[in-house]
């Protein structure tokens, strides 16, 4: 789990990401900004993973996403009315925040038996470049052999690192509109770029002290 001072250490990366997200006006600007953002994310992932290892890199990327989500939702919130109920907050994330970040709303929002919210995206933009190509034989023709277990595990590890940043984005955006939560991701290499985000909202009893941001 990210430490409480991680968002402060990640402020530089979050500031750069927030500016990339907010500076684009038209569609062409958004495409350029998205390309720059994905490049920045890839560089952070490579650097953090190489220097810190997967677990610490996940926490650091989550912290960058958290700080970025706080900044983004605060700036976007200047033009929207207050959100009073948790369901409204989740719909805001799935429609407004998702459309701003990924150029389309989330595909589905549902709850599980434990009361967690599950955001489903069947074609998550930030995983499209990672989807494994169908295997082929020496002649270049498509084959039926599955990718190796080691390769699948490596792809999944990188995918989960990639998703730690949007997990932080969701958590930060929710906190900016007054809802504290924990967020984790689920992904299968076989169905990428589809993925899900599990959002657990905290009750008043769960919040023992404020989070430093």
pLDDT tens-digit readout, 182-206: 999 999 999 999 999 999 998 644 5
Instruction: Give the distance between the most distant pair of CA atoms in the chain.
Output: 62
pLDDT score, position 160: 92
Out of 42-51, 106-115, 159-168, which region has the weakest mean confidence (pLDDT)?
42-51
Judged against a pLDDT cut of 50, whether residue 28 lies above it is answered with no
194 Cβ neighbours under 8 A, 6+ residues apart: 120, 121, 122, 123, 124, 187, 188
Give the chain's mean pLDDT: 77
Around 207, how many Cα atoms within 13 Å sit in the side-chain half-sphere?
Answer: 14
pLDDT score, position 104: 92
Alpha helix ranges (H) inside 53-187 = 54-76, 86-92, 98-102, 149-176
pLDDT-based confidence at residue 16 (cuts at 50, 70, 90) = low
Q: What is the DSSP-derived secondary structure letter of residue 200?
A: E
pLDDT score, position 43: 80
pLDDT tens-digit readout, 130-182: 765 555 445 544 433 456 778 888 889 889 999 999 999 999 999 999 999 99
Of residues 115 and 8, which shows the higher confidence score? 115
* Rounded alpha-carbon distances, angstroms, from residue 85 to 48, 82, 175, 177: 37, 10, 13, 10
pLDDT score, position 50: 80
- Per DSSP, what are the bridge partners of residue 94? none
Judged against a pLDDT cut of 50, whether residue 22 lies above it is answered with yes
Judged against a pLDDT cut of 60, whether residue 87 lies above it is answered with yes
The average pLDDT across 100-122 equals 94
């Amino acid at each position: 789990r990210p430490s409480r001072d991680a968002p402060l250490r990640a402020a530089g990366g979050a500031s750069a990401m927030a500016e990339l997200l907010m500076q684009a006006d038209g569609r062409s600007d958004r495409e350029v900004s998205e390309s720059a953002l994905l490049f920045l994310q890839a560089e952070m992932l490579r650097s953090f993973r190489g220097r810190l290892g997967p677990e610490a890199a996940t926490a650091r990327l989550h912290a960058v996403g958290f700080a970025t989500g706080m900044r983004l939702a605060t700036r976007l919130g200047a033009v929207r009315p207050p959100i009073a109920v948790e369901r409204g907050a989740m719909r805001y994330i799935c429609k407004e925040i998702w459309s701003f970040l990924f150029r389309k709303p989330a595909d589905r929002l549902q709850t599980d038996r434990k009361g967690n919210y599950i955001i489903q995206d069947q074609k998550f933009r930030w995983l499209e470049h990672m989807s494994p190509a169908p295997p082929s034989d020496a002649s270049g023709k498509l084959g039926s052999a599955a990718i190796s277990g080691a390769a699948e595990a490596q792809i999944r590890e990188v995918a989960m690192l990639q998703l730690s940043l949007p997990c932080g984005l969701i958590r930060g955006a929710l906190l900016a509109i007054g809802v504290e939560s924990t967020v984790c991701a689920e992904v299968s290499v076989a169905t990428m770029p589809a993925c899900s985000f599990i959002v657990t909202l905290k009750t008043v009893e769960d919040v023992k002290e404020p989070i430093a941001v």
